[in-house]
Amino acid sequence: MQALHRVLHVEDDPSIQEVARIALEVVGGMQVASCDNGQAALGKAAEWQPDLILLDVMMPGIDGPTTLARLREQETTREIPVIFMTAKVQANEIEHYRSIGGLDVVIKPFDPMTLASQLREIWERMDER
């Protein structure tokens, strides 16, 4: 099984971007690239080919679900798994994000000390399927 190594984090809040970078790079030993909007993520994902995209749901400009739809339209990014990150509003929303093609949903606020292991767990579950 291929280990989770390269993560593209798409998030408009710079504080969250930075704390996630520490959480994934320093605590989790992963390689991280960050984008602050969906449009930029489309290009970065095609060029950098991450193992996984961690995608914020609510962003100015194109939001998370739309970004996912566009990623699926692009030949070079079609297969990249996407995990949504959201400040949960309602339980049925999580179901919704799974149903539109999100691998899973990480709830904000997250704990920086365990974010990496949370992603790895989801990653390994995907491989088992």
Residue with Cβ nearer another protein (69 or 87): 87
Task: List residues binding another protein (CB under 8 A).
Answer: 13, 15-16, 18-19, 22, 26-27, 58, 60, 86-87, 89-90, 108-113
Q: What is the full DSSP assignment across 28-60?
A: T--EEEEESSHHHHHHHHHHH--SEEEEES--S
Identify the CA nearest to 95 among candidates 104, 107, 87. 104
Closest approach of another protein to the CB of residue 95, in Å? 15
Residue with Cβ nearer another protein (21 or 44): 21
Identify the CA nearest to 118 among candidates 1, 2, 7. 7
A 10 A CB-CB count for 66 gives 13
Residue with Cβ nearer another protein (27 or 126): 27
Closest approach of another protein to the CB of residue 2, in Å? 25
Closest approach of another protein to the CB of residue 27, in Å? 6
Residue with Cβ nearer another protein (19 or 100): 19
Closest approach of another protein to the CB of residue 97, in Å? 14
In the DSSP assignment, the letter for residue 3 is P
29 exposure class (CB count in 10 Å sphere: 0-12, 13-18, 19+): exposed
